[in-house]
Structure 1
Amino acid sequence: MARLVAKELNAELTQDLQANPFLGDFYKDRNGAAFQAQLFFLLNRYQLLQGLRQPDLFRQTIVTDFIIEKDRIYAYQNLSDSELALYEKLYPMLTADQVQPDLVVYLQLSADKVMETLKKRKELKSLNISPEYVDNVVEAYNRFFFHYEATPLIILNANGVNFSKDRAAVSDLLSYFQKDLRGVTYLTPKTSL
């Protein structure tokens, strides 16, 4: 989705794509590699956002596929109490004074749709991602965005929408970028399929 939006807006795209070397171990044994996997994600996102702090006259619009705050969603799902205490000492140091987005779009999916998507991704097929874990993460995301107030927010019902094939759905979303949004906007995109 971020790639499509960036293309339509002729914007620079910053994606959180670096492979996490601890992720495979995490899904095999959550207790053994959770902290390392979480710190890898946090530090990688920190570095990506640091790169956006430098002003560039040639880039007017930047699209990312993450907000750094989402890192905490996983931290609270996966870390032990002692790991979380250490994480909470690091998190403020790495997130203070970060670039804030002008708008956040949350692609809201059901747990069933997330599981369906995960099963299609080749690199994730071998990982042991349980439906219960996905249910918990989806619930945590919904809870987080229900209370999110840092920027204008579009909660986009992405169930049943294939944005790569449905240009009308992408256009519908982009039309909201031109509006003076405040607070939360709920959107079920118009589709042509």
Structure 2
Amino acid sequence: MSPRPPALPSHLGYVAVEGVIGAGKTTLARMLADRAGGRLVLEEFEDNPFLGTFYQDRDRWAFQTQLAFLASRFRQQKALGARDLFAPHVVADYTFDKDRIFAHVTLSGDELRLYESLYGLMETAAPVPDLVVYLRSSVDRLLHNVALRGRAYEADMDRDYLAELSEAYDRYFFHYTRSPLLIVDASRIDFVGEPATFEELVRQMASVRGGTSYFNPPRTMQLAF
């Protein structure tokens, strides 16, 4: 049996996994935290009382939904400042930046201006990840993954909304400079079913020291989808 590849290196104390709805953020974050023996931080999206109604009427409920997420994410981000001495790595399935990406898709006018004022007050208190892993995926794959997990409020997920979010994420992360960034082509790969893909991703993450890097898995690692 070949030796297990090493866990995350010490310079990656805080890793955040990002991507559009259905990209596989939570799955990958769980796998990385398990590999590193680290603390897992998951977004508390199910605690948002407006999320279900938002998907039914986005224009009516976008502002309430966004403010509830902003408060929840800020509370979690502040808590990240208290690192667990027994868990040298923290892995999260979102970044604080995510909140602003969504806000610029769902809000406009006075609501967006008020949101920006609140976000600006909170942003400086949120810790910056040592590495962000951005999972890019096709809209078809995102819809497939959303359908598989079977959340009731996502049952009628709008394709155009996912496409708009994908474009917003690309615009943001293609110009991202706050921390080292690894952009992963996740449209046709399976981290769970293909262990070699996950192991190679961990190696790619360990090699990132700054700037933006890309992981485009070879064809033999790709999922036929």
1:31-180 paired onto structure 2 within 5 Å: 31-124=59-152, 127-180=155-208
Structure 1 unaligned residues grouped into runs of 5+:
none
Q: Distance in 1 between matches of 2:110 and 2:39?
A: 39
Structure 2 unaligned residues grouped into runs of 5+:
1-27
Q: Which moved more, 1:181-190 or 1:23-32?
A: 181-190
How many angstroms does 1:180 deviate by? 4.5
* Contact map agreement 2:185 2:215 (CA 8 A) in 1: yes
Root-mean-square deviation (CA, aligned residues, Å) is 1.6
Q: Distance in 1 between matches of 2:109 and 2:33?
A: 39
> Which structure would you say has the larger RCO, counting Cα contacts within 8 Å and 6 or more residues apart?
2
Q: Are residues 176 and 30 of structure 1, via their aligned partners in 2, closer, same or farther at CA, if it must alter by over 3 Å?
A: same
Tell me the number of residue pairs that the alignment of Structure 1 and Structure 2 aligns.
193
Q: Distance in 2 between matches of 1:176 and 1:30?
A: 38
Other-structure match for 1:9: 36
Q: Alpha-carbon deviations, 1:84-113, whole Å to 9, x = none?
A: 011001001122132111000001101111
Q: Distance in 1 between matches of 2:194 and 2:70?
A: 33
Q: Distance in 1 between matches of 2:222 and 2:110?
A: 50
- Quick one: percent identity of the two aligned structures? 37
* One-letter code aligned to 1:39: L
Q: Alpha-carbon deviations, 1:140-176, whole Å to 9, x = none?
A: 1111110001011000000111111111111111112
How many angstroms does 1:43 deviate by? 1.1
Dislocated runs of 4+, deviation >4 Å? 124-127
Q: Are residues 63 and 122 of structure 1, via their aligned partners in 2, closer, same or farther at CA, if it must alter by over 3 Å?
A: same
How many angstroms does 1:69 deviate by? 0.4
How many angstroms does 1:33 deviate by? 0.7
1:23-38 paired onto structure 2 within 5 Å: 23-38=51-66
Q: Distance in 1 between matches of 2:81 and 2:51?
A: 28
